[in-house]
Amino acid sequence: MTTATEGQELTRVGPGTPMGELMRQYWLPALKASELIAGGDPVRLMLLGEKLIAFRDKSGRVGVMDHRCPHRCASLFYGRNEQGGIRCVYHGWKFAADGQCLEMPNLPPDQDFSAKVKATAYRVTERAGVVWVYMGSRAEAPPMPQIEATLLAEGEVALNFTQRECNWLQALEGDIDTSHFSWLHVGSVKPDQVDADNWLQYQVTNRAPEYQVSDTDWGTMYCAYRPARRGQTYWRFAHFAFPFWTFIPQGDFADRVIARSWVPMDDTHVMFVGFTWTQASRSAVLKDGGQIPGSTPAPDYLPNTTDWFGRFRPVQNASNDYLIDRDAQRNDVIYTGITHIAMQDQAITESMGEIVDHTYEHLAPSDQMITRTRRRLLIAARALRDKGVVPPCVDRPELFQQVRSGECELAAADWQAAYAERLHQARHPDLLQVAAE
């Protein structure tokens, strides 16, 4: 079980908190690169409980810095995005993308001390259409993680940003809580609706799989498994990787490369940033050629606003009960009555409250991936806090190359052997284009 104290340690992400400091060791995917137009409007960015602004100056350089002007704390959100930096509109001080103060035009030249003033600004890089931010204190930022889906050619990877209004951990735990799939998402699908050779058949026939879970160099991994045809086993492999990445099983290893991150905005909001590469056109799932009822269409989003929490909000939200259709639920057409798989997850994890009360839980053997992942996070955060131990993957970005999620049918007796075999088969030299760091 997770105690109230452990729950606090796991969920709080502000400066000086154990988990907040752990997160600050890593590069964080923070914005779509397209949100920042050269010379365009600054964007309010909430990250790990810090209010930041992000902008792209006229020459294309991206700045991510504390939104408060270091002079008298006016918000630089209202600043003028000029050539070579952003200018505070209160007294005209100007700051380069790296935070360096360049001008203090409200002072006579002999009183100018701009060389000594720097806004709190963070290291930034761009990859896979995303602006990544490093909020740690190292003089030299660590290497970028070699996460497969973020290394593929830009434009091949589909990006998804969605804000969720709850703590980052309960949102992430939805991705590693595999047994909910057969209920929340396909609870109304009957075996006779699915072809015998479709892997979904296993999930709607046996809704209580067995599990194996283990620690890994990059975090944790599990497999859920069920007996399959011809003496084989149907395996589903998935991972958690530090500090907030998940890799969920969706189809064959070779057909899809997925990376999902749950980037804490503050203690009660998280930005989901997902990267997906797929080569399989999404085929009809059910015998009748249709999709799982309620799995489509894709959710709609409200227009972005300039608010700290105004980016990538779904139309379906707590204020409208996620547009639940009680008739569809009652008639067993859509198990939840809520349309779209991601919105079903959104509704359920937000419904737990802003920060789940861990002392109220009764965790079961089906939750062993969750308990192990919490333990790994706590051990790493405490080791960093108490002994300065660098957490997993920070200096070993290549560990991510061993991480792939997926499903398969194999005769292997041992789950680790099955994973190694399928990973090896699925690896394609063209797929892994590790950028020279």
Q: Please choose, from the candidates 7, 78, 108, 36, the residue with its C-alpha nearest in 3D space to the C-alpha of residue 304.
A: 36
Alpha-carbon span 6 to 385, nearest angstrom: 14
The option from ligand FES, Fe ion, none interacting with 423 (CB < 5 to 8 A, set by class) reads none
Shortest reach from residue 103's CB to ligand FES, in Å:
10
Shortest reach from residue 174's CB to Fe ion, in Å:
5
Q: Is 116 left (phi over 0), alpha (psi -120 to 50) or beta?
A: alpha
Are 22 and 388 within 8 A, CB to CB? no
Shortest reach from residue 114's CB to ligand FES, in Å:
11
Which of 72, 138, 229, 282 binds ligand FES (CB under 6 A)? It is: 72
The option from ligand FES, Fe ion, none interacting with 345 (CB < 5 to 8 A, set by class) reads Fe ion
By CB under 6 A, the residues from 88 to 107 that bind ligand FES are 88, 90-93
Q: 279: part of which helix (H) or strand (E)?
A: none
Size of the site for ligand FES (CB under 6 A): 9
User: According to the binding rule CB under 6 A, does residue 69 interact with ligand FES?
Assistant: yes
| Residue 300 burial (C-beta neighbours within 10 Å; 0-12, 13-18, 19+) | exposed
Cβ proximity to Fe ion: between 26 and 161 the closer is: 161
The option from Fe ion, ligand FES, none interacting with 72 (CB < 5 to 8 A, set by class) reads ligand FES
Cβ proximity to ligand FES: between 81 and 170 the closer is: 81
Cβ proximity to Fe ion: between 335 and 400 the closer is: 335
Q: Which residue is nearest to Fe ion (CB)?
A: 345
Shortest reach from residue 348's CB to Fe ion, in Å:
8
Shortest reach from residue 120's CB to ligand FES, in Å:
14
Cβ proximity to ligand FES: between 51 and 180 the closer is: 51
| 299 Cβ contact partners less than 8 Å away, ≥ 6 residues apart | 162, 314, 315, 316, 339, 340, 342, 343
- Cα torsion through 152, 154, 160, 163, rounded to 10: 110
Which of 32, 61, 71, 385 binds ligand FES (CB under 6 A)? It is: 71
Binding mask 316-345 for Fe ion (x = CB under 5 A): -----------------------------x
Q: Please choose, from the candidates 171, 197, 132, the residue with its C-alpha nearest in 3D space to the C-alpha of residue 351.
A: 171
Amino acid code (one letter) for 71: H
Shortest reach from residue 364's CB to ligand FES, in Å:
54
Alpha-carbon span 20 to 176, nearest angstrom: 21
| Residue 350 burial (C-beta neighbours within 10 Å; 0-12, 13-18, 19+) | middle
Stretch that binds ligand FES, among 10-18, 71-79, 174-182, 230-238 (CB under 6 A): 71-79
Q: What is the 8-class DSSP label of residue 200?
A: H
Which of 6, 14, 61, 74 binds ligand FES (CB under 6 A)? It is: 74
Q: Are strands 210-215 and 219-227 parallel, antiparallel or unpaired?
A: antiparallel
Are 372 and 363 within 8 A, CB to CB? no
Size of the site for Fe ion (CB under 5 A): 1
Shortest reach from residue 106's CB to ligand FES, in Å:
7
Cβ proximity to ligand FES: between 84 and 129 the closer is: 84
Q: Which residues pair with 219 in a beta bridge?
A: 241
Q: Which residues pair with 66 in a beta bridge?
A: 52
Please report, for residues 186, 217, 396, 432, the alpha-carbon distance to residue 149 in angstroms, rounded to integers and kept in the order given.
27, 19, 17, 9
Q: List contacts with Fe ion (CB under 5 A).
A: 345
Q: Which residues bind ligand FES (CB under 6 A)?
A: 69, 71-72, 74, 88, 90-93
